[in-house]
Amino acid sequence: MLFQKWIDKRIEAYQSDLIRKYCDEIESMYMKMRGWRHDYHNHIQALQASMAMEKYEEVNAYLRQLNDDLVNVDTAIKTGRVMVDAILNGKINIASQNDIVVNAKARIPDKTPLTDVDLCVIIGNLLDNAIEENKGLSVSDRFIRIYIGQKNTQFYLAFTNAAGKKHVRHGSLFASSKGLNHGFGLMRVERVVKKYGGLFSADSEDGGFTAELLIPME
């Protein structure tokens, strides 16, 4: 009983830290968007001045630069939930910074019962684990595949990532060399899924790790 309470406190502390990091990522994304909008009128004035002086090549170069900036600001993945978009795109950006190729397809159905917080706990934990696992591999071997959508009457999520050696299974979870918090991540995902009456499975093999989640839509 005491050990279980200790585990619960550690998981609660870990989740709180996770949510704080998510909020920081969301704030960072919206700060970039606000900054771009604030500069919008300055960009228009600069373009008008160049056009008046018939500096058309300069205008084209300026427009190309603005387009690149806008691509960086705009979210690459749109799931239908703003908070989830921020977390998912934030993690994909971190993966890109670590030379990890990400293939993602994500759309959250309207009837999905999970709250934004629970969705972010699941996505954040699984992607944090996937990124950490990839960072220990050669750049040419790194990859993450994400699918979030509907499968029949179930909300379905699948995360596959490159990995090193096969992890040792303990019950429904796996031992980790990344420390206690890393192990708490999968435990937290499993608890969230069970709360909604869903199924969580994970499979570890040499070279790869896959986690799949099925949660009833009604």
Query: Over the stretch 20-79, which tens digit does the pLDDT of each residue have?
Result: 666 666 666 666 666 666 677 677 777 788 888 888 888 788 888 877 666 555 556 888
Tell me how far apart the alpha carbons of residues 22 and 114 are, in angstroms, rounded to a whole number.
17
Q: What local confidence, expressed as pLDDT, does residue 160 receive?
A: 95
Q: What local confidence, expressed as pLDDT, does residue 210 receive?
A: 93
Tell me how far apart the alpha carbons of residues 91 and 25 are, in angstroms, rounded to a whole number.
9
What are φ and ψ of residue 80, in 5° steps? 105, -5
How wide is the angle at C-alpha 169 spanned by C-alphas 189 and 98, nearest 5°?
A: 60
The yes-or-no verdict on residue 99 having pLDDT over 90 is yes
Cα radius of gyration (the chain) = 21
Identify each DSSP E strand in the chain by its residue range.
101-106, 143-151, 154-162, 169-170, 173-174, 199-205, 208-216
Is the pTM value of this prediction over 0.75?
no
Residue 180: pLDDT band by 50, 70, 90 thresholds? very low
Fill in the DSSP letter of residue 140: G
Rounded to the nearest integer, the mean pLDDT of the chain is 80
Task: Give the number of other CB atoms < 10 A from CB of residue 167.
Answer: 20
The model's pLDDT over 71-97, given as tens digits with 9 standing for 90+, comes to: 555 556 888 888 888 888 888 888 988
The yes-or-no verdict on residue 209 having pLDDT over 70 is yes
Q: Cα–Cα distances in Å, from 51 out to 38, 68, 85?
A: 22, 21, 37
Beta bridge partners of 210: 160, 203
The yes-or-no verdict on residue 127 having pLDDT over 90 is yes
